[in-house]
A and B are shown apart, each in its own frame.
Chain A
Amino acid sequence: MTELQYIGKPARRVDALEKVMGKAKYIADRKLPGMLHARCLRSEAPHALIKKLDVTPALAVPGVRAVITSEDFFEHSLFGFPVKDEYVLAYRKVRYVGEAIAAVAADTPEAALAGVQAIVCELEPLPGVFDMEHALDPDAAQVGPDRPDDQHPNFLDLLIVRQADPLAEIEQCAVKLDERYSVGPQEHAYIEPEGALAVPTREGGVLVYAPNQSPFVNYGVLAMVLDLPHNLVRVIQPPVGGSFGGKDDQIYQMSAQVAKLALLTGKPVRLVYSREESLISSYKRDPMHIRIRLGADSDGTLRAVKFEGLMDSGAYASESTFTAWRGSIHAMGAYRYNACAVDIKCVYTNNGYYGAFRGFGNTEVCAGIEQAIDELACAVGMDPLDFRLKNCLHVGDRTAHGQILTESVGLPDCIKTVRRLSDWDRKRAAYANQTGNIRRGIGVAALYHGTSLGAEGADYAGSTIAVEQNYSIDLTSGLTDYGTGSRTVFTLIAAEELGVSPDRIHMQRPDTDTAIESGPTVASRSTMLGGNAARVAADNLRQTLDYAAADLLGCELHQLVRSGEAYVGPDEEPVAWERVVDHAREMGLALSAHGKWTAPRIEWDHHHGTGTPYMAYHFASQVAEVEVDMRTGVVQVVNFWAVHDPGKVIFPQGAYGQVYGGVAQGLGYALMEQITYTNGYLQETNFESYLIPTSVDVPEITAQFVEAPFSKGPYGAKNIAEPSMVPAAPAILNAIYHATGKRVRDLPANLERVLLGHDLAKGGSAKACKLGLKT
């Protein structure tokens, strides 16, 4: 391959300038003349029947222009994918505290709040389900929808992986482990609270600006619940102030609310959440209870695993069935086994609701399996890093799902590199047998993470590209950049393909009127799917330009070479790219193209738990070094090393940024981020109680990449955004064990758990939640 000009070289993020100048207009920064302000009436009960809902008093409040309920939508606003069980506004029942029941549009935010307070809403409390372990008890209250089969209505799904009989295999093993772990919920805590702005159009349709992850999903939901033809709905993506999986369903609900209010009032309507409203009403990472059984030979050969997980989906399914599926696929970790069984069950409760969050099931299961592997290594008497190296997946290995890995497996190199960078062997020995009050420890975790959607669904993306009058290039994608840097990745790929400077390229944010539907922006799929689509589009355009250049230079296509942007023919006189463009125009050629890329078809057998779940995997190994104060239980992460195999790094500053940010989120998950529902009432309603890592909590991180290219990825690239977070928590927990000799098997490892080994009984009340909904 000829030397790459832009891929993998330092680059400027395409939207960085407007952001550092404070000029980027996020949803809360957008104001339109005559714009109304919306506000929702929300449930103060975790589970109740809506006995009475009378909005007429609200309409009498000065400044209130419209009030809507589920009656204002098609099918009472039912939506949801893959399980259709959610409403834009609650219908007949509320299932969690904070669920939206009605929405008001008014001239001012104050009038909207007064309108909300004037609504007459009588809720008849129902018994709630607050413990997922009892969600399927025969007498548990029904939270989930009616089912056609004889399963409990609170049962949502069961995801399995099967290979041989692990319990029989473990029976024969010299070293066995049987342990329980748990992970708590986690809030996305994007610094930009959710919002949406709708503008009625002259044709009777609606234009929605929404910081959603997947504008085309929003577009589909809007057309459905508003009962409008698709051509009357348009969604435009403003800059998004962080998402991490969190700006899906919630934003679609908000978009539909403001869209309906805009249609009714004929005015633009904006809804922006307060932090309290965001925390109380939005979905979070699902909590999981885990039991893991493992068996190995005395020489450290790993033989079998049985993983059982119980996952809370909360009041609605949201993405939980997909999350649980990805969790099940990764539950055994990146190792070879003779036998494996995974069962992850998800259930409905009244504890808020749970959906997509970076790592999407893998973050949860990895926290369990990577501690269990550490414990088993200890029991065998092996260094945990050596144990991983001995058993981890290599090219040519067969995974527990029955998939042969034929290429792009950088895991052994990742583990070896992180060992060297972290000075593992010396520190591991130096920190053994400490006795002081302040103790250090070092821990490792390994990871694999399937690329893109895998067998979850149709996996494709599209891009358009066009040369404009001024010789700039317009590039679109149907996928959103919510901070990850994908717009820059697409720009660099298109520039490389076309042989033009990235400065020429204007990478647009998605607009459903101009971009091509590309599926959801999830699963760290942008680089591979959107990147390949941009590559195909740019390549199509380049072929046209090459043809024009050959005509202009009077030569054959194969005689063309490039010198910078210029084309050079046999006479060796460079011709500027603009001249080639002019010539193509004179020839009447269309200087626009589109590209579509579809992932290779793969199969997963849900009934038998075998198949090929993903086309390729990201691999990584991370090491954490901690300092534990034995008197207080305070854990400080003092060093961190992360070595990742993303196939190929396209945009280096962006890739490093993903790793640093992912590790920071994993650190929060491991040590401090605590979400508590007490009888369905959230206790942490703002950042003074929901603590996320600050600049003094996050250590200096050393990141490095091992590039094991994937033949179908653009320039060999796979994925990076989610995998960067996943192994951080277990690496930290394993380091705490190394420092203290005590295992904390429940996340987050807060002070009590580290110091005392158990939780302090804490009260909780409905107060913060009820107050949060009123301010």
Chain B
Amino acid sequence: MLIEFTLNYQPIAIEAPPDVTLLHLLRDHLNLTGAKEGCSVGECGACSVIMDGRLVNSCLVLAPQAHGSEIITIEGIHAPDGGPNDLQENFITYGAVQCGICIPGMVVAGEALLMRTLTPTRTEIRTALAGNLCRCTGYQQIVDAIEATAVQRRQAS
């Protein structure tokens, strides 16, 4: 079936079987491999994308459900010049990246939170990340990076 939606601010139309997940649509049909498959059952958050402003696990969304929606993936998150944005830069500065497999999901989850609020407490940041598993970092430097970005964006606005 034909699925039409906005992907990373660009309209897109793609023919896909009705039973594929949004994650597979992105990875196998659109060649966007930033979202990762860690569990396929909605537990790890490695497949996180932003759908109509909300953080979702793309492994739990059927591709046809994306019809008419606005989707932002990690490939749509960057500075205007294509380099890292402030959040991504802070992930690097604060040492928030280890193996990196969860990191696209973490960046997406961080952006989804910062779209809602620029004054999150560390506890609120942790709650916002609770659906994103990381086995390497113990989360602390990821929280540091998101917190620092919130402060910077607050000051800039």
Contact = CB atoms under 8 A, between A and B. Distances in A.
Interface of A: 10, 12-13, 15-26, 28-29, 188-193, 239-244, 274-275, 482-485, 652-654, 656-657, 659-665, 686-688, 692, 694-696, 698, 700-701
A694 B100 contact: no
Nearest to A239: B100
19 contacts: A20-B97, A20-B103, A21-B78, A26-B101, A28-B36, A189-B135, A243-B99, A483-B136, A656-B140, A657-B95, A659-B138, A660-B141, A661-B135, A686-B43, A692-B133, A694-B139, A698-B138, A701-B138, A701-B140
B38 interface: yes
A247 B131 CA distance: 25
Interface in B9-35: 27, 33-35
A13 B97 contact: yes
B41 A686 contact: yes
Contacts of A692: 133, 135
A19 B98 CA distance: 9
Interface in B58-112: 73-75, 77-78, 84, 88, 91-104, 107
Given A22-B74, A687-B41, A191 B36 contact: yes
Given A23-B34, A688-B41, A657 B98 contact: yes
A12 B39 contact: no
B44 interface: yes
B43 to A, nearest CB: 4
A634 B124 CA distance: 21
Given A22-B104, A686-B43, A484 B97 contact: no
Nearest to B33: A29
B133 A483 contact: no
Query: Which of A239, A483, A657 has the most chain B CB within a 10 Å cutoff?
Result: A657
Nearest to A279: B39
Nearest to B34: A22
A190 B141 CA distance: 18
Q: Is the interface of B mostly helix, strand, loop or mixed?
A: loop
B78 to A, nearest CB: 7
A240 B99 contact: yes
A10 B144 CA distance: 15
B135 A665 contact: yes
Contacts of A698: 138-140
Contacts of A657: 95-96, 98, 136-138, 141
B103 to A, nearest CB: 5
A22 B100 CA distance: 9
Contacts of A275: 38-41, 44
Interface of B: 27, 33-41, 43-44, 46, 73-75, 77-78, 84, 88, 91-104, 107, 122, 125-127, 129-143
Contacts of A23: 34
Contacts of A243: 99
B78 A688 contact: no
Given A661-B138, A695-B125, 5 more contacts: A12-B92, A20-B92, A657-B141, A687-B44, A698-B138
Closest 7 A/B residue pairs (Cβ): A653-B95, A22-B34, A483-B99, A241-B101, A19-B100, A660-B138, A22-B74
Nearest to B125: A695
Contacts of B132: 695
Contacts of A274: 40
Contacts of A654: 95
B88 A21 contact: yes
A275 B136 CA distance: 17
Contacts of A17: 84, 92
A575 to B, nearest CB: 33
Contacts of A665: 135
Q: Is the interface of A mostly helix, strand, loop or mixed?
A: loop
Contacts of A28: 33, 36-37
A365 B84 CA distance: 44
A558 B33 CA distance: 53
B104 A661 contact: no
A192 B101 contact: yes
Contact of B140 (A240, A652, A660): A660
Contacts of B74: 21-22
Contact of A190 (B101, B127, B129): B101
B41 A653 contact: no
A19 B38 CA distance: 16
B42 to A, nearest CB: 8
Contacts of A695: 125-127, 129-130, 132, 134, 139, 142-143
B122 A700 contact: yes
B92 A13 contact: yes
A15 B35 CA distance: 18
Given A22-B73, A191-B46, A660 B38 contact: no
B130 A192 contact: no
Nearest to B95: A653
Contact of A16 (B37, B41, B97, B143): B97
Nearest to A30: B33
Nearest to A688: B43
Contacts of B73: 22
Query: Which of B77, B88, B131, B135 has the most chain A CB within a 10 Å cutoff?
Result: B135
Nearest to B134: A191
A239 B125 CA distance: 28
Contacts of A663: 138
B134 to A, nearest CB: 7
Nearest to B94: A653
Nearest to B131: A694
Contact of A656 (B126, B136, B141): B141
Contacts of A482: 99
A192 B36 contact: yes
B141 to A, nearest CB: 6
Query: Which of B41, B78, B91, B138 has the most chain A CB within a 10 Å cutoff?
Result: B138
A694 B104 CA distance: 17
B120 to A, nearest CB: 12
A590 B117 CA distance: 57
Contact of A242 (B39, B78, B107, B135): B135
Nearest to B107: A20
Nearest to B142: A695
B95 A13 contact: yes
A19 B43 contact: no
A242 B122 contact: no
Contacts of A20: 84, 88, 91-92, 97, 100, 103-104, 107
B138 A24 contact: no
Contacts of B142: 695
Nearest to B106: A20
Contact of B97 (A19, A656, A662, A694): A19
Contact of B139 (A16, A193, A660, A687): A660
Nearest to A703: B140
A484 B135 CA distance: 12
A193 B33 contact: no
A485 B73 CA distance: 26
A485 B38 contact: no
Nearest to B99: A483
A24 B46 CA distance: 14
A25 B99 CA distance: 12
Contacts of A15: 97, 100
Query: Which of A20, A244, A662 has the most chain B CB within a 10 Å cutoff?
Result: A20
B113 to A, nearest CB: 12
Contact of B101 (A12, A242, A485, A664): A242
A36 to B, nearest CB: 15
A191 B44 contact: yes
A660 B97 CA distance: 12
A696 B127 contact: yes
A193 B136 CA distance: 14
Contacts of B40: 274-275
A653 to B, nearest CB: 3
Contacts of B104: 19-20, 22
Contact of A696 (B37, B91, B96, B130): B130
Nearest to B31: A31
Contact of B130 (A240, A241, A687, A694): A694
A701 B78 CA distance: 30
